């Protein structure tokens, strides 16, 4: 089964389960306030980290270097902010893991290893097999 389809099905189920379990332990109003607080704190910290990443990207550009990590990191921060806006505890945990620089670096390095492995595998078969015949210039047809 496709992993995206599986996550679309499983994430809401896990979120509902966690909301029910945590809500029964700490109360409904406290659960709602906790979700609201994580969203506000997470978005404000995402803004702070996004500005730091933007500043780091400009520093890379002034050094005549490509800000590859900063671009990917900025996309991860934007995705983390989206996850923090979505109500639920699982998405908040994943969002906070993507916002903090240390865990973001670990997560991005794991994804990078996955894609570098695929890239190296595709380079192994980077040839075309065929036959050719050398033709003299005198025998060429000209239109």
Q: 116 falls in which pLDDT band (50, 70, 90)?
A: confident
Question: For the segment 39-62, what is each residue's pLDDT rounded down to a tens digit?
Answer: 999 889 989 998 999 999 999 999
What pLDDT is stored for residue 139 in this prediction?
Answer: 55
| Cβ(70)–Cβ(57) below 8 Å | yes
Alpha carbon distances (Å) from 137 to 20, 140, 142: 81, 5, 10
CA-CA distance, 135 to 45, in Å (whole number)?
68
Average pLDDT in the chain: 85
- For the chain, what is the radius of gyration of the CA atoms? 25
What pLDDT is stored for residue 130 in this prediction?
Answer: 74
77: buried, middle or exposed (CB in 10 Å: 19+, 13-18, 0-12)? buried
Q: So where are the chain's domains?
A: 39-115
User: Which secondary-structure segment (H or E) carries 34?
Assistant: helix 28-62
Question: For the segment 1-40, what is each residue's pLDDT rounded down to a tens digit?
Answer: 688 888 888 999 999 999 999 999 999 899 999 999 999 9
What pLDDT is stored for residue 140 in this prediction?
Answer: 56
Closest C-alpha among 112, 114, 88, 83 to residue 99: 83
| pTM for this entry | 0.73
CA-CA distance, 33 to 31, in Å (whole number)?
5
For tokens 């050094």, the residue is 63
Give SS3 for 100. coil
Question: For the segment 117-132, what is each residue's pLDDT rounded down to a tens digit?
Answer: 655 555 566 667 777 7
What pLDDT is stored for residue 79 in this prediction?
Answer: 92
Neighbours of 21 (CB within 10 A): 12
Question: For the segment 86-114, what is each residue's pLDDT rounded down to a tens digit?
Answer: 889 999 999 999 999 899 999 988 888 87
| Cβ(50)–Cβ(84) below 8 Å | no
What pLDDT is stored for residue 132 in this prediction?
Answer: 72
Of 77 and 128, which is predicted with more confidence? 77
């Amino acid at each position: 089964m496709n992993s995206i389809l599986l996550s679309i099905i499983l994430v809401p189920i896990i979120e509902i389960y966690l909301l029910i379990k945590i809500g029964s332990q700490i109360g409904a109003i406290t659960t709602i306030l906790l979700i609201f607080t994580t969203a506000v704190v997470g978005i404000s910290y995402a803004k702070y980290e996004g500005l730091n990443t933007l500043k780091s990207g400009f520093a890379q550009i002034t050094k005549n270097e490509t800000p590859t990590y900063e671009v990917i990191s900025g996309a991860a921060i934007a995705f983390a902010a989206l996850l923090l806006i979505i109500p639920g505890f699982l998405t908040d945990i994943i969002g906070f893991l993507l916002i903090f620089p240390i865990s973001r670096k670990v997560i991005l390095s794991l994804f990078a290893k996955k894609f570098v492995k695929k890239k190296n595998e595709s380079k192994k078969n980077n040839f075309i097999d065929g036959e050719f015949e050398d033709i003299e210039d005198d025998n060429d047809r000209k239109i």
